[in-house]
């Protein structure tokens, strides 16, 4: 113990001086909070489920900044205990080098041949997210058509803009809940953050798509949803729009979990963030933007009231390319994988809807042509 303190003690105190000060006035013993926060700082640890090797770099200022961005609340009850405590401290991390890991992750490791154990780990990691995604898509295909026949709900089919307003109201309500962590912190931590480790909850694949902690994040997403969502909902109808929105939300969450793991496993240059919690409606918003751009590719857009010289489709492709590069080369802390997956879903859904329109037009022509 004495050798451990000599080697690591100064890092503990450097990174937690502010937390120790706050812990002295809270309801949690300082020592408990101290070691809960720093269990992972003592050495090099792999990510819990993905086992993507990472090297923990002790950087107190960066850790404190990231902690304030992702976990601004500090005193809500944890899922595992009724005693208020801060569950997670995000440290600055960098991907381990090939030499440091001995090639164990990218080469597959084990005796099952190249990539066999690696593939099994990925399948095991994605089993529950894939099953939940399939369930949501089945709900969209089977339950939503019947739900929109209910008298009260059928109004949304005739006035689909009300559905968009309802989605915006839900996002605003969750944002307001983040401002009351003592009342809602435990629920938001469980269902409003998309965890990608042992704390993963399948319902957070949808809940995180309605969750924002920052006003600017909420404002941008709701502005884009208002601008593109209302005309798109009027074109396709309330049922189809809700089907697209929920599908984009859950599939972007799946992409947020799957794409970084696949990139880190099969591309030697990737440094995708595979274990950082994420939240926000951006994935579903990119689905809306992608479908809109596919259906009306030459629509002219403006950026801060300045008209852009290219059509909506080319603007969308630029954003999708940026998100693809960001996923591989990690420009910052944005969830580029979720954005990219949502964009792909938007293209797919736009194509599906255009094919539906073509088939309906052919049926109409045959009916009146005879």
252 as an active site residue: the answer is no
What's the chain look like in SS3?
Answer: CHHHHHHHHHHHHHHHHHHHHHHCCCCCCHHHHHHHHCHHHHCCCECCCCCCEEEECCCHHHHHHHHHHHCCCCCCECCCCCCECCCCCCCCEEECCHHHHCCCCCCCCCCCCCCHHHHHHHHHHHHHHHHHHHHHHHHHHHHHHHHCCCHHHHHHHHCCHHHHHHHHHHHHHHHHHHCCHHHHHHHHHHHCCECCCCCCCCCHHHHHHHCCCCHHHHHHHHHHHHHHHHHHHHHHCHHHHHHHHHHHHHHHHHHHHHHHHHHHHHCCCCCCCCCCCECCCHHHHHHHHHHHHHHCCCCEEEECCEEEEEEHHHHHHHHHHHHHHHHHHCCCCCCHHHHHHHHHHHHHHHHHHHHHHHHHHHHHHHHHHC
Does the annotation mark 282 as catalytic? yes
What end-to-end distance do the CA atoms of the chain give, in Å?
A: 90
Taking Cα atoms as reference points, which of 294, 340, 300, 339 lies closest to residue 313? 294
Helical packing angle, 215-224 and 161-178, nearest 10°? 170
282 with 342: CB under 8 angstroms? yes
- Catalytic one among 195, 252, 253, 339? 339
Number of Cβ within a 10 Å radius of residue 180: 12
Please list the active-site residues: 282, 339
């Amino acid at each position: 113990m004495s050798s451990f303190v000599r080697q690591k003690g100064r890092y503990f105190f450097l990174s937690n001086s502010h937390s120790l000060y706050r812990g002295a006035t809270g309801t949690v013993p300082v020592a408990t909070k101290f070691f809960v926060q720093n269990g992972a700082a003592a050495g090099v640890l792999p990510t819990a489920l993905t086992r993507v090797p990472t090297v923990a770099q002790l950087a107190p200022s960066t850790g404190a900044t990231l902690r304030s961005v992702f976990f601004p609340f500090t005193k809500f009850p944890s899922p595992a205990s009724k005693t208020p405590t801060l569950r997670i401290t995000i440290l600055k991390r960098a991907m381990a080098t090939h030499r440091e890991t001995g090639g164990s992750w990218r080469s597959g490791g084990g005796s099952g041949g190249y990539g066999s154990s690696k593939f099994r780990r990925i399948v095991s990691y994605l089993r529950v997210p894939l099953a939940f995604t399939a369930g949501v898509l089945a709900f969209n295909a089977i339950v939503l058509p019947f739900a929109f026949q209910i008298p009260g709900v059928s109004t949304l089919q005739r006035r689909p803009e009300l559905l968009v307003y309802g989605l915006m109201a839900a996002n605003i309500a969750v944002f307001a809940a983040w401002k009351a962590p003592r009342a809602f912190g435990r629920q938001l931590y469980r269902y409003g953050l998309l965890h990608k480790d042992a704390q993963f909850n399948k319902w957070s694949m949808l809940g995180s798509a309605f969750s924002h902690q920052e006003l600017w994040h909420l404002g941008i997403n709701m502005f884009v949803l208002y601008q593109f969502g209302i005309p798109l909902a009027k074109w396709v109808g309330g049922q189809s729009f809700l089907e697209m929105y929920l599908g984009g939300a859950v599939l972007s969450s799946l992409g947020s979990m799957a794409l970084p793991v696949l990139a880190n496993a099969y591309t030697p240059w990737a440094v995708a963030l595979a274990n950082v919690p994420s939240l926000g409606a951006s994935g579903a918003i990119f689905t809306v933007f992608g479908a809109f751009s596919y259906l009306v590719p030459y629509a002219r857009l403006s950026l801060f009231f300045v008209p852009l010289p290219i059509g909506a489709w080319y603007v969308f492709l630029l954003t999708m390319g940026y998100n693809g590069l960001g996923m591989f080369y990690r420009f910052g802390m944005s969830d580029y994988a979720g954005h990219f997956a949502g964009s792909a879903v938007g293209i797919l859904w736009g194509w599906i809807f255009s094919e539906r329109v073509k088939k309906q037009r052919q049926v109409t022509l045959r009916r009146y042509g005879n």
